Structure 1
Amino acid sequence: MTNFVWTLRVYWEDTDAGGVVFYANYLKFFERARTEWLRSLGIEQQALADQAGVVFIVRSTAVDYNAPARLDDQLEIRTRIDRVGPASVQFTQEAWRGELMLATGAIRVGCVDKSTFRPAPIPDPVLATIKSAR
């Protein structure tokens, strides 16, 4: 089940010398999709940092690459929530071009205090919103 879909276009800056999307850029695409997902839920990360004193950070990633994306391709980044804990969210994210899945990633995001970067609980209203989006 997909919780959120965000589309993007591949630009020159996204490609490597071989003319394909540089592998690390999929992590950027996934990050942007998670940010847009939060926005779609009414959660602004800067406001969360300013008002609640917490930020989300990537705790771990694992990405499998199946096929290359190229300049001018339009991609769909599909985001699914796998698990929600009191201080973290586990996602599966996929990059698709049409009917072809190009890459899939398992990303764990943690909530931390913005000044100490120590784990912190996801604020209750944000946690409830995330859980309801599953």
Structure 2
Amino acid sequence: MASSVSINEPWARATFALAKSGAAYFSIINTSNHDLVLSSVSVDNSVAMTAELHHTIMQNEMMSMQELEDGIEIKAGSTVELSPGGMHIMLMGLQKPLNKDEFINVNLIFEDGSQLSHSVPVLDKRN
């Protein structure tokens, strides 16, 4: 059902030279009449060793990130935001810095087995 999904305003945060992790963000729009579950994500090994769906939570008065092991549900006809401080794609084991004006390809894998690849620009955003 990935054909009924569109991505809006994708971006990945530029990193410093020795960073071991990075993040990517965008809106996922489900234009179908069926709920969908984004179950996992991947990137090429030349970008990062692993990519996971994460969310930021407050735990014991500290912010921490936690993997969304059950994926992200996208209700029929709705939009889900992946944004700083919320749900996002965590890129771990970066093979090189994410440099401004480059692009990374992110592969979205849905529960029904369908996939959607999207090119994500690297931006130098501070928020």
Q: What TM-score comes out, normalization by structure 2 length?
A: 0.31
More strand by proportion, 1 or 2? Answer: 2
Larger relative CO (CA 8 A, sep 6+): 1 or 2? 2
Higher helix fraction (1 or 2): 1
